[in-house]
Amino acid sequence: MKKNLFLFFLILIGRTAFAQQATKVTIVPKPAFVEKGVGLFVIDQYTSVVAKEPDAQKVAAIFNYFLKKQYGFTLRTNNVALANTIVLNTSSPAKSSNESYQLKVTNKGVNIQGSRAGVFYGAQSLLQLIQQKGKQLFVPVVNINDEPNFAYRGLMLDVGRHFFDTNEIKKILDVMASLKLNTLHWHLTDDQGWRLEIKKYPKLTAISAWRDSTIIGQYYDFKPFVYDGKKSGGFYTQEQAREVVKYAAERNIEVIPEIEMPGHSTAVLAAYPELGNGTGPYKVPGYWGVHHTIYNPGEPTFQFLQDVLTEVMTIFPSKYIHIGGDEVPKDEWKSSALAQKIIHENNLKDEHELQSWFINRIEKFLNKNGKNLIGWDEILEGGLTPNATVMSWRGEAGGIQAAKEGHNVIMSPNSNMYVDHAQAKDGKTEPLNIGGFLPLDVVYNYNPRPTALSTDQQKHILGVQANMWTEYVATNNKLEYMLFPRVIALAEVGWTKTDNKNYEDFTSQRLPVILESIERSGVNYRIPEANVVITDDAATKRKRITITSFVADSKIYYTIDGHKADNTADLYTGPILSPLTNGRPLTLRYIIVTRENKTSNEFSVDIK
């Protein structure tokens, strides 16, 4: 009897500890409202997903896809709400935002309510709430009401500089979906490669999709350039592109294609030199930078672009088509008789107005076909076309100007949103990159609504986007390294209300959990520097050093002064006291090794 009572208490204590542990809610991006309850809901083999409406059934299928991927099993779906169920309900969507949802977890089951997009995001939050203990999966009792801060939450991926196959695109789309990002801006064409099959112009995939060589090292490393001698390229068939669009749509992600014009088009000119300004012969270049070879503004060019866009519009149902418009050197137009004739005939002031005229024609064509045009902020120069949406990349100035003129804007300033920039100040500790320095906190702390705009003007800020240019990113592994964790920070910039954002809270509470999950799903990421706190220890006159990793369950190996932190270094188990400094600066070096044995760079911090 006594023994039984003891056992009973043991189980009680065990369950209580279990339930307390389970109450941690670490959803990324942080939801608008979270009310934690007591207890948990256990997901077992008898749990089923209830989905009555066709929309809910579609979400159920994707929910099972993610469950299978993360935990190796799926749940039965049915349309009767019995006990032990996860109910997906799209019958009464909330009014505030198409993407808002309510998620209620009790110890008996789960209920998610919203539109299809909302329930999809509720299901993503649920997936992030699932915790595993041995073979058991459980979810803390909680009540969540959530909606996004911005309607547009995007990631741009440049596949022109380096090609990434559809498996990699889908892998990125899965992570984007889990982070509630809803737009993939697919940068499909650039000087160094054209990536989309266009049936009417087969040379785009036979010639423009390939270059015979790529420069070694950074643009500034060697002059003349030194080449690797390796053929590089690839393209998506229309069928593959449609498959990506469908895959994305199932995850509430819209794919916006970008077809660059009038610049960034050398690859096209290599196949169709008659569209250039007579400065050929052209070849698909294997070096980066802004190229001077641009389209001529003649009728055959418009015919070509309209034919291309006509095929593009059959693949991409998005409301927007991005036409680039950035970095267009005007020297070829300055010395072209044709360009000057068009300037004269149309009473244009200069080549900038010629670019506006060019973009205006394309906008009219897109609008006639029910599409809206997006361009980089250079489309402001020479006058903005009437209905254009501006993507502000050279800082915020272009976005601010466009919003003041009543145009819609997407903020992606290079100061905060260029994830091709280095992730450490000391470039030598990072893989080859374009330069610059964009640490995680600078992404996180970005507010896309400039204070220079009035509340009414701020309504034109549709949202925010990070840009992944890939001049120096040739592999999937490196692509993921550059994206994460910065794109996780982007997710909170886009979704979480500004008042509800807090970098310390993000890195200490949510980042460790999401990084662990990203690692478990086989996605690469850069292990961020730990939080190192150094204080004076008055009693010993030494420094007291606390090191906290942002990856859950990771180990830290460190040395102080002089030695490399490798696996012969000391394992960090708690705050350490430095040797006596005697005023001499010391260096702390450390590496972080995750549970899955992923090892970070060596990081160093001066102990002063």
**Residue positions annotated with a catalytic role:** 190, 264, 327
CA nearest to 423, candidates 489, 475, 371, 513: 489
Name residues contacting ligand ACM, limited to 310-329 (CB under 6 A). Answer: 326-327
For residues 309-330, one letter each, b for 16 or more C-beta atoms within 10 angstroms of the residue's C-beta and e for the rest, the string is bebbbebbebebbbbbbbbbeb
CB 436 → ligand ACM: shortest distance, Å? Answer: 11
Reading the block at residue 605, the tokens are 């911090």
Distance in angstroms (rounded) separating the CA atoms of residues 592 and 575: 16
Q: Does 381 bind ligand ACM (CB under 6 A)?
A: no
What is each CA distance from 434 to 250, 437, 468, 503, 537, in whole angstroms? Answer: 34, 10, 11, 26, 42
> Kindly report the CA angle at 306 between 461 and 383, in degrees rounded to 5?
45
CB of 258 to ligand ACM, least distance (A): 10
Give the nearer residue to ligand ACM in terms of CB position, either 146 or 158.
Answer: 158
Tokens 């080859």 locate to: 432
Q: How far apart are CA 409 and CA 462, in angstroms?
A: 6
Interface pick for ligand ACM out of 376, 444, 525, 550 (rule CB under 6 A): 376
Within a 13 Å sphere around the CA of 455, how many CA atoms are in the beta-carbon half? 0
Both tokens of 356, joined, read 């506006």
Residue 105 or 379: which CB sits closer to ligand ACM? 379
Q: Which is nearer to ligand ACM, 93 or 375 (CB)?
A: 375
Tokens of 31: 């939801």
Report how far apart, in Å, the C-alpha atoms of 600 and of each of 33, 504, 565 are: 35, 21, 11
Q: Which is nearer to ligand ACM, 379 or 479 (CB)?
A: 379
For residue 129, how far is the Cα from the chain centroid?
21
- Residues from 493 through 512 that contact ligand ACM (CB under 6 A): none
- The least CB distance from residue 290 to ligand ACM, in Å, is 8
Q: Annotate each residue in 67-86 with x if it binds ligand ACM (CB under 6 A) or - if it does not, as one string.
A: --------------------
Radius of gyration of the chain measured on its C-alpha atoms: 27
Instruction: Provide the minimum distance between the beta carbon of 604 and ligand ACM in the complex, in angstroms, as a whole number.
Output: 32
Q: How many CB atoms lie within 10 A of CB 599?
A: 15
Closest contact distance (angstroms) between CB of 464 and ligand ACM is: 15
**Alpha-helical segments (H) within 274-327:** 299-315
Nearer to ligand ACM, 322 or 510 (CB): 322
- 324/512 with CB nearer ligand ACM: 324
Q: SS3 for 437?
A: strand
Two tokens at 108?
């008996």
The conformational region for residue 406 under phi > 0 = left, psi -120 to 50 = alpha, else beta, is left
Query: Which burial class, exposed, middle or buried, applies to 169 when counting CB atoms under 10 A from its CB (0-12, 13-18, 19+)?
Result: buried
CB of 276 to ligand ACM, least distance (A): 20
Least distance to ligand ACM, CB of residue 378, Å? 8
The residue with tokens 């649920």 is 126
CB 399, min distance to ligand ACM, A: 13
CA 368 from chain center: how many Å?
Answer: 31
Other Cβ atoms closer than 10 A to 211: 23
Of 139 and 410, nearer to ligand ACM (C-beta) is 410
The contact pattern for ligand ACM, residues 538-577, with x = CB under 6 A and - = no contact, is: ----------------------------------------
52 close to 91: Cβ distance less than 8 angstroms: yes
Q: Which of residues 385-404 bind ligand ACM (CB under 6 A)?
A: 393
Identify which of residues 307 and 326 has a Cβ nearer to ligand ACM in the complex.
Answer: 326
Cα separation of the two ends of the chain: 62
Q: How far is the CB of 393 from ligand ACM (least distance, A)?
A: 4
Give 432: exposed, middle or buried? Use CB within 10 Å, 0-12, 13-18, 19+.
middle
Q: How many residues of this chain interact with ligand ACM, rule: CB under 6 A?
A: 4
Nearer to ligand ACM, 376 or 495 (CB): 376
Chain residues that interact with ligand ACM, rule: CB under 6 A: 326-327, 376, 393
